[in-house]
Structure 1
Amino acid sequence: MRIAGAPISWGVCEVPGWGHQLAPDRVLAEMRDLGITATELGPAGFLPAGRDERRELLGSYGLELVGGFVPVVLHDPAHDPMADAERALDELGTGATLVLAAVTGLPGYDRRPVLDTKGWSTLLTNLDAICDLAADRGRCAVLHPHVGTMVERRAEVELVLGECGIPLCLDTGHLLVGGTDPYWLARTAAHRIAHVHLKDVDARLAESVRTEKAGYTEAVGAGMYRPLGRGDIDIGGIVRSLENAGYEGWYVMEQDAVLTAEPPPGGGPRDDVRASLAYLAEGDPAQGHPAEGAS
């Protein structure tokens, strides 16, 4: 398997006030020490913006860059997102996937407006335009259905699949919280999936977000995201389905965390990441072994 890490698993997030933010040297060193050899970019400012400086830094920890999560307003007819997309592609460099989130323009992921027909038309048109822009540069752009963005619920995911051509980032956790069965998506739309974020989820807390009994950030802080194999998602079944369909992209481990303070040396989020790696290492998911321990 092509397994990568992500700074959000260490609580490093673009949302203001999200929680205590760990320094890059600690996060990257813990990735290296866990045997991870690739990572996503993290929020703006976490890693150097210059490609050469960033490549040197990541290389010093034995890491390569495989993608970057880029929040962009795509639904507003008064806003042209192409400059944002071009800048993100330039900053990521070759070989890394542009992972788009159709953000609301509001802070955080706890509320979102309702789109009208014009807003949806603008969003879908912009997705195709950015997809084409990336392809013209020999690159890949994907849309990440994400809680608290304009593409969250199953009907919205299906609208994107039916009305535009951009590939998807299959994030097992965000899909479930938004009401989409990630296993269903892996089985029925594998040809549209070009990037994967692996999360396991406490279904009870996910339901509280979906029914608006709890905010998204609150639920993450309460432990909604679980180490792989310890939640309510059939991670092994999803991986098997994608591998059998010929998926060749990366599996990025993401167990979003909210930290309240600096963890003691040798502890903290790395323990959950280690548990997820151990789950994936129990056997070859394409042959079915990890699924035996999944809910």
Structure 2
Amino acid sequence: MRTIQGPALFLAQFMNDTPPFDRLETIAPWVAECGYLGVQMPSDNPRCMDLALAAESDAYCDELKGTLAEHGLVITELSTHIQGQMVAVHPGVRTLFENFLPAPLRTASDSERQVWATDQLLLAARASQRLGLTASATFSGALLWPMVYPWPQRPAGLVEEGFAELARRWTPILNAYEDAGVDLCYEIHPGEDLHDGASFERFLDAVGAHPRASILYDPSHLLLQQLDYLAFLDIYRDRIKMMHVKDAEFRPNGRSGVYGGYQGWAERPGRFRSLGDGQIDFGAIFSKLAQYDFPGWAVVEWECALKDSAVGAREGAAFVRRHIIPVTSHGFDDFVGGGERDDARNRRILGF
């Protein structure tokens, strides 16, 4: 067993035009002062990094790492959530995702958008390799999400064709991550075709159980779907290479439930909360991750409709520190002796 690394902070929800959140150089000391040891980098945000340059330049990657090292921080993973979403977008909702794209591509064709997104993922694979990272976070995108509820009746073969196309788009990307020695971790998330265990299994089958097709585990998205988020760890532990530590609560009522009635985040029965303010049993989660020898970082992703982000970030670092289990190097009953292997003694005990 190994002790989980952390805490780390996902920077995506914090970067903006207001100091100190406007540049990596200025947010880094703030992150460190909050109590974090690492940062998960949104690769699409120029306030954090130049992805194309990181893919080609060891010197630039050393500069990024050096900027963070001055404050006792490291890069834990790169995120391509925004770009991954654009690998597969149903035409019916293409306009909703225009803000995910650089301005020149907002009027581009679907195929041009997909080419851009694929190129971004390939850059992130090379950048991750240069930075010495072993995992990267992304979204799968969605071709089938508008048909997630089986009404009207879905034609035979529709779901199979959707996942076959998803696999055609992602297999070359996964191969590039294999070449780079980096696990590509899909965040299991509503709005994506990979939104629960069953849909991840369909994708895994479609990509031939690709060794780099991995999972970013975020229990908040499972709770809001009313999945058993602890059993999910038992089932998919071998594919889980990353995690987001994010809390949530689900309080259904007589007016709305899982679907939320088109209400905003503050009014929905299911909503994200800052760490410790929701219903998720993180004690059990960290116990299972320690038991299953989870190889990654405990990364706080702050998303809460109620609490201030800076307060949530500070509380989150302390929360993760309390939950990380420093794993034992020996059995608690080793002091009595007799645990070493002795085949002759074993046969005597069995009466042989």
Range class of TM-score, shorter chain: 0.7 to 0.9
2:265 — aligned with what?
219
Alpha-carbon separation, structure 2, partners of 1:167 and 1:48: 24
- Go from structure 1 to structure 2 and tell me whether the alpha carbon gap of 1:61 and 1:208 turns closer, same or farther (over 3 Å shift): farther
Deviation at 1:224, TM superposition (A): 2.9
- Go from structure 1 to structure 2 and tell me whether the alpha carbon gap of 1:134 and 1:209 turns closer, same or farther (over 3 Å shift): farther
Amino acid at match of 2:259: T
- Go from structure 1 to structure 2 and tell me whether the alpha carbon gap of 1:127 and 1:235 turns closer, same or farther (over 3 Å shift): farther
Deviation at 1:158, TM superposition (A): 3.7
Larger Rg: 2
Alignment TM-score, normalising by the size of structure 1 = 0.75
Alpha-carbon separation, structure 2, partners of 1:168 and 1:186: 10
1:65 — aligned with what?
75
- Go from structure 1 to structure 2 and tell me whether the alpha carbon gap of 1:221 and 1:157 turns closer, same or farther (over 3 Å shift): farther
1:98 — aligned with what?
136
Does the residue aligned with 1:282 lie in a helix, a strand or coil? helix
Query: Cα deviation per residue 1:153-198 (whole Å; 9 max; x = unaligned)?
Result: 4532342355443111111222333443321211111001111111
Amino acid at match of 2:318: A
User: Which piece of structure 1 moves more, 137-146 or 218-227?
Assistant: 218-227
Amino acid at match of 2:141: V
1:89 — aligned with what?
125
2:39 — aligned with what?
39
Task: For structure 2, list consecutive stretches of 5 or more residues without a partner in the other structure.
Answer: 55-59, 90-109, 149-157, 328-352
Alpha-carbon separation, structure 1, partners of 2:239 and 2:299: 17
Identity score, percent: 18
Does the residue aligned with 1:175 lie in a helix, a strand or coil? helix
Does the residue aligned with 2:202 lie in a helix, a strand or coil? helix
Matched, 1:114 2:147: yes
Equivalences, count: 266
Query: Cα deviation per residue 1:48-93 (whole Å; 9 max; x = unaligned)?
Result: 2143243343233332111122132344695455423212223443
Deviation at 1:235, TM superposition (A): 1.4
Alpha-carbon separation, structure 1, partners of 2:292 and 2:178: 22
Does the residue aligned with 2:280 lie in a helix, a strand or coil? coil
Amino acid at match of 2:48: L
- Go from structure 1 to structure 2 and tell me whether the alpha carbon gap of 1:180 and 1:157 turns closer, same or farther (over 3 Å shift): farther
Matched, 1:6 2:10: yes
Contact 2:286 2:323 in 1 (8 A): no
Aligned alpha-carbon RMSD (Å):
3.6
Amino acid at match of 1:90: R
1:134 — aligned with what?
177
Does the residue aligned with 2:262 lie in a helix, a strand or coil? coil
Amino acid at match of 1:188: I
1:275 — aligned with what?
315
Does the residue aligned with 2:36 lie in a helix, a strand or coil? coil
Matched, 1:196 2:243: yes
Query: Cα deviation per residue 1:115-156 (whole Å; 9 max; x = unaligned)?
Result: 843221121343343222112112221111223222224532
Contact 1:198 1:254 in 2 (8 A): yes
Amino acid at match of 2:36: I
Deviation at 1:286, TM superposition (A): 6.6
Matched, 1:29 2:76: no
Contact 2:273 2:304 in 1 (8 A): no
Alpha-carbon separation, structure 1, partners of 2:266 and 2:40: 20
Does the residue aligned with 2:147 lie in a helix, a strand or coil? coil
Does the residue aligned with 2:139 lie in a helix, a strand or coil? strand
Does the residue aligned with 2:251 lie in a helix, a strand or coil? helix
Contact 1:8 1:257 in 2 (8 A): no
- Go from structure 1 to structure 2 and tell me whether the alpha carbon gap of 1:95 and 1:113 turns closer, same or farther (over 3 Å shift): farther
Query: Cα deviation per residue 1:184-241 (whole Å; 9 max; x = unaligned)?
Result: 2111110011111111102238x968314135xx317989322333211111211211
Contact 1:240 1:286 in 2 (8 A): no
Does the residue aligned with 2:164 lie in a helix, a strand or coil? helix
Deviation at 1:7, TM superposition (A): 1.4
Alignment TM-score, normalising by the size of structure 2 = 0.64
Amino acid at match of 2:45: A
